[in-house]
Structure 1
Amino acid sequence: MGWKDNTRAWRNRPASHSRQADNREITLLVLIGVISILLWHSPYGGYVLYPFSILATWFHEMGHGLAAMAFGNDFERLVIFPNGSGYALHVSEGQPSRLSRAVIAGAGLLGPTVAGCALILASRTHRATKAALILLGIALIGSTLIWVRSTTGWAILPALGAACLAIAYYGREAHRRFAVQFLGVQGCISIYSDFGYLFSQGGYLEGQMQISDTGHIEQALLLPYWFWGGLITAIILAMVFYSLKIAHRR
C-alpha cells in the first residue's frame, strides 16, 4: 500500500508542475507583448523590432495575395517599402464579386494574427515547433523568389527565413520554442501598430491617396468602415484568446 501511495503522489506532481509551467509561459508571452509595444514607443525601439515589423507587413500582404489566389486572381507582386508599408498587386480577369473584394481586403488585416496564433499553437509540441519554423523559413524565402519585388523585402525576408531554418535544424528545443512563441506574439500584436488604420478610410502611399482595407470592405458590403474595424478587432481578440487557451490546455 505504501508503494502505491507514493506512486500516486509521484504521478500527481507533473500536473501541478505543468500548470505552473503554463502560467510562467503565458506570463512570458504577455511580457514579450508588453515589451514589444513599449519598444515601439521608445526612440530606438523601432530599429530593434524593424525586421519583425517587415515580417508583419509580409503576413499582411501575403494574406491579401493568397486570398486573391483563392478567388482565382493572379497574385503578381508583393512590395514592401522601407517604412514598413506595402502592397500586394493582384489582377482579376473579370469584375470581382463584392464578397471576394471584402474577403481579400479582410484577409490582409487578419493575416498577421492568423499566422501569430498558428505559431503559438505550434509551440505545443516539439515536432510542431520545428515544423512551424521550417515551413515559415521556406515560405519567407520562396515567396521572396516568386512575388517580392522590393529591396527591403529582398534584404529582410530571406534573412529571417534563413534564421528560422537555422534555429529549426541547429537550435536547442528551448530556443526553438521561444523563437516560435516570440514570432507568434509579434504577429498577434502587430495589429496594435495598425490600430488607427483599422478605423480609417485610407491614407497616403507614395504620395497617392489609398483606400484602407476596411474602406474597401465598406465599398463592397456597404456598412461603414468603423463597423468592420470593430468587428475585425473583436475577431482578432477572440483568436488570440482561444489560441492561448488551446496552446496551454492539458
Structure 2
Amino acid sequence: MPNSSEQKPTVSSTKNALSFRQRYQFWLMLLTAFIILQLPFISIPFKWLESYFHEISHGLTALLTGGDIVQIQLFPNGAGLCTTRGGSAFFISLMGYGGAILWGCLFFSLASVHRKAAQAFSVLLVALLAGSILFWVRDLLTLFIVLVLLSLVLAQLKYSSQKYLQTLLKMTGLLVLANSLMSPLYLLDGQARGDGAALANITYIPEIIWVLLWFIAGLFATYRLSKVSFASRS
C-alpha cells in the first residue's frame, strides 16, 4: 500500500514552478543583452540599431510636430545625428532617448503577442529602413550602416521560423532597451552637448535631471516588460 505521506505535485505547485522559470527567463535574456553590448565587434550592429531608433525617433517627432527631416546620419562608433527643420524643439530633443526606449518595448511586446504580430512588425521595420534610405540618407557611410541593419532584419525574416523570429525580436528589443538605458549616462561628461544640454537650454532644467528621467523611464519600461513576459506565458 502506498505511503500516505507521499503527495503528488499539485497543478498549482507545478504552475508556480513553471511561472518562476518563465520570469527568470526574461531577466536571463536581459543579462545576455547587456553582455552582448560589451563584446567587441559583436555589439556593433546592435549599437547601430539603437542609434538608428534614437535618430529616427527625433525625425518622426519632427514630422508629428509639423517639421521635416533633412538628413539622418549614423557613425561607426554608434553615434548619430538627425537634422530636422521646424517642429517642436522640446519634443524632438526629448524623444531621442525616449523613443529608443519605446522602440525596445514595442519590439518585445509585439513579439510576445503572437507569431504573426512579430512577422508583421518585421515587415514594417523593413519598410521603415528602406524608407529612410530613400528619403533621409545622404552619405555613403550611413547608407552602409542602414543596409547592414536592413540585411539583418531580412535575414531574420527569411531564415528564421516564426517561432524563432519571436525570440529574436524579443532579444533585439532588449538589446535596444539595454543600450538606451546606458546611452544617456554618456551625456554626463561635462561637455554640455547632446539632447540633455538642448533640453536644459530650452527649459532651464539641469541636464542631469533629464538624464535621470530617461534612465528611470528605461528602468520602468524594463520592469513593465518583465510583467508582460510573465503574463504572456502564464
Match of 2:61 in 1: 67
Match of 1:143 among 110, 132, 155: 132
Supply the distance in 1 between the matched residues of 2:153 and 2:85 (Cα, whole angstroms).
31
Q: Which runs of 5+ in 1 are unaligned?
A: 1-8, 204-210
The 3 A distance-change label for structure 1 pair 21 and 123 is farther
Give CA-to-partner distance per residue, 1:52-96, whole Å, 9 cap, x none. Answer: 11111111111111111111111111011222222111112xxx6
C-alpha RMSD of matched pairs (Å): 2.5
| Secondary structure class of the residue paired with 1:48 | coil
Q: Shift of the alpha carbon at 1:15? A: 4.6
Match of 2:91 among 103, 106, 113: 103
| Secondary structure class of the residue paired with 1:83 | coil
Supply the distance in 2 between the matched residues of 1:22 and 1:132 (Cα, whole angstroms).
24
Supply the distance in 2 between the matched residues of 1:107 and 1:117 (Cα, whole angstroms).
14
- Is 68-77 or 168-177 further displaced after alignment? 168-177
| Secondary structure class of the residue paired with 2:174 | helix
Supply the distance in 1 between the matched residues of 2:157 and 2:10 (Cα, whole angstroms).
33
| Secondary structure class of the residue paired with 1:47 | coil
Supply the distance in 1 between the matched residues of 2:68 and 2:81 (Cα, whole angstroms).
14
Supply the distance in 2 between the matched residues of 1:157 and 1:223 (Cα, whole angstroms).
34
Match of 1:114 among 99, 102, 108: 102
**Matched-pair contact (CA < 8 Å) for 2:100–2:177:** yes
| Secondary structure class of the residue paired with 2:138 | coil
Identity of aligned residues (%): 23
Supply the distance in 1 between the matched residues of 2:80 and 2:107 (Cα, whole angstroms).
23
Q: Shift of the alpha carbon at 1:238? A: 0.9
Give CA-to-partner distance per residue, 1:144-176, whole Å, 9 cap, x none. Answer: 221122323211322322332342354213320
| Secondary structure class of the residue paired with 1:248 | helix
Match of 1:224 among 206, 210, 234: 206
Counterpart residue identity of residue 60, structure 1? H
Supply the distance in 2 between the matched residues of 1:13 and 1:127 (Cα, whole angstroms).
32
Is 1:215 the counterpart of 2:194? The answer is no
Match of 2:46 among 49, 52, 55: 52
Supply the distance in 2 between the matched residues of 1:235 and 1:16 (Cα, whole angstroms).
30
Structure-to-structure mapping, 1:19-98, within 5 angstroms: 19-20=19-20, 22-37=22-37, 40=38, 45-92=39-86
How many aligned positions are there? 223
Is 1:153 the counterpart of 2:147? The answer is no
**Matched-pair contact (CA < 8 Å) for 1:63–1:111:** yes
**Matched-pair contact (CA < 8 Å) for 1:199–1:214:** no
The 3 A distance-change label for structure 1 pair 67 and 152 is same
**Matched-pair contact (CA < 8 Å) for 1:32–1:185:** no
- Select the structure with the greater relative contact order (CA < 8 A; seq sep ≥ 6): 2
Is 1:173 the counterpart of 2:162? The answer is yes
**Matched-pair contact (CA < 8 Å) for 1:132–1:180:** no
Supply the distance in 2 between the matched residues of 1:17 and 1:138 (Cα, whole angstroms).
41
| Secondary structure class of the residue paired with 2:154 | helix
TM-score (ref. length: structure 2): 0.84
Supply the distance in 1 between the matched residues of 2:49 and 2:90 (Cα, whole angstroms).
23
Supply the distance in 1 between the matched residues of 2:189 and 2:64 (Cα, whole angstroms).
27
The 3 A distance-change label for structure 1 pair 34 and 87 is closer
